[in-house]
């Protein structure tokens, strides 16, 4: 299992701005580049141009391939060398040390693979293809006898009641993972999510890729202040997590990162929102700061009667 990333989103954004091409960033800070790709934050690299890349040598392909146990990892984290091996027709050669991933799973091969893991969770992370095959063939309970994190006490009625609380499958999976996996194991997922919408939300699109400071309000009171180099992505995370109660969002687009930091600190020390951490250690300020010159755009959204945010800016 891989360690959790040591980088935060805004830190990766600051690091990425130091480079003009992906090749430069690979040489200067490869771990940060991989963290960006691993978390799906490719927009942090949108300012970079495409540099002309030299032909990947056989030695470079082999050196990079030796870092991984599976081809899927090789393709995901070192796609340049992976694609070069595919183009040259030598992928089988450079991946000869890797475990071959079964494409057609039967009960015997699933059982052999599952025997390598001590729990369902470890099985899911270690070999997701075999794990999904075990779910399709309803073998998980037989293979693990109730071990792991999946709740085997969920009945169909309980799953239906739990699923009815959510509007999208991703909300169901994120906020009630045990019920979601129980539904998946019992082949009920399609039935219990039939009422849900599967279209991706386009809310907050005018804040996409916009850096700045955002403010969350609840019943007229400012409850949280944050910053991000992509305010839309960060605000969507808050709405999906459901950890903070708010009914109004204000986004202040601030192109300069240095100005963004100053405005965030000033607003927090001026208002001391309840959801911001370490408020007890922050001294409130009475100084007045006119930050309007730093703000290039302002966005505002309020929650309607259905709990959906609509733009009022």
Q: Nearest to residue 75, comparing CAs of 88, 59, 60, 91?
A: 91
Per-residue DSSP letter, 49: B
82-95 pLDDT per residue, tens = 888 888 888 888 88
Write the DSSP assignment of 217-276 as a string of letters. EETTEEEEEEEESSHHHHHHHHHHH--S--SEEEEEE---HHHHHHHHHHHHHHH--TTS
Residue linked to tokens 């030598």: 90
Confidence class for position 1, pLDDT limits 50, 70, 90: very low
Q: Using N-to-C axis directions, what is the helix angle for 107-114 and 128-136, rounded to 10°?
A: 130
Say what the pLDDT of residue 147 is. Answer: 43
pLDDT over 80 (residue 112): no
CB 69 within 8 A of CB 96: no
Q: Nearest to residue 186, comparing CAs of 178, 176, 196, 194?
A: 178
End-to-end CA distance of the chain: 45
36-83 pLDDT per residue, tens = 888 888 888 888 865 555 688 888 888 888 887 778 778 878 888 888
Decide yes or no: CATH 3.20.20.80 for domain 205-311: no
What's the pTM value of the predicted model, to 2 decimals? Answer: 0.39
Phi, then psi, of 120 in degrees rounded to 5: -65, -40
Q: Is 49 left (phi over 0), alpha (psi -120 to 50) or beta?
A: beta
Instruction: Kindly report which listed range (145-154, 247-256, 265-274) carries the lowest average pLDDT score.
Output: 145-154
CB 309 within 8 A of CB 204: yes
What is the domain partition of the chain in residue ranges?
9-94, 107-192, 205-311
Residue 299 three-state SS: strand
Say what the pLDDT of residue 306 is. Answer: 64
Residue linked to tokens 């509007």: 167
């Amino acid at each position: 299992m891989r360690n959790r990333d040591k980088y935060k989103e805004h830190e990766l954004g600051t690091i990425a701005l130091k480079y003009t091409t992906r090749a430069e960033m690979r040489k200067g800070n490869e771990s940060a580049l991989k963290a960006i790709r691993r978390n799906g934050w490719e927009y942090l690299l949108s300012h970079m141009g495409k540099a002309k890349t030299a032909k990947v040598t056989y030695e470079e392909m082999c050196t990079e391939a030796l870092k991984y146990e599976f081809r899927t990892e090789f393709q995901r984290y070192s796609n340049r060398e992976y694609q070069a091996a595919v183009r040259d027709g030598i992928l089988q050669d450079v991946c000869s040390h890797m475990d071959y991933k079964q494409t057609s799973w039967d009960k015997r091969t699933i059982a052999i693979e599952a025997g390598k893991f001590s729990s369902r969770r470890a099985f899911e992370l270690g070999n997701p293809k075999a794990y999904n095959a075990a779910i399709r063939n309803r073998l998980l309970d037989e293979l693990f006898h109730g071990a792991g994190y999946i709740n085997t006490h969920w009945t169909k009625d309980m799953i239906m009641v739990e699923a009815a609380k959510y509007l999208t499958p991703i909300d169901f999976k994120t906020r009630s993972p045990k019920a979601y996996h129980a539904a998946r194991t019992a082949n009920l997922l399609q039935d219990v999510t039939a009422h849900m919408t599967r279209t991706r939300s386009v809310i907050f699109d005018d804040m996409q890729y916009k850096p700045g400071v955002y403010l969350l309000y609840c019943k007229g009171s400012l409850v949280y202040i944050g910053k991000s180099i992509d305010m839309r992505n960060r605000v969507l995370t808050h709405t999906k997590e459901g950890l903070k109660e708010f009914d109004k969002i204000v986004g202040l687009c601030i192109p300069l990162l240095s100005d963004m930091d100053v405005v965030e600190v000033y607003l927090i020390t001026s208002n001391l929102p309840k959801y911001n951490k370490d408020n007890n250690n922050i001294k409130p300020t009475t100084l007045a700061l006119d930050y309007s010159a730093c703000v290039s755009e302002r966005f505002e959204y309020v929650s309607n009667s259905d709990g959906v945010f609509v733009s009022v800016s």
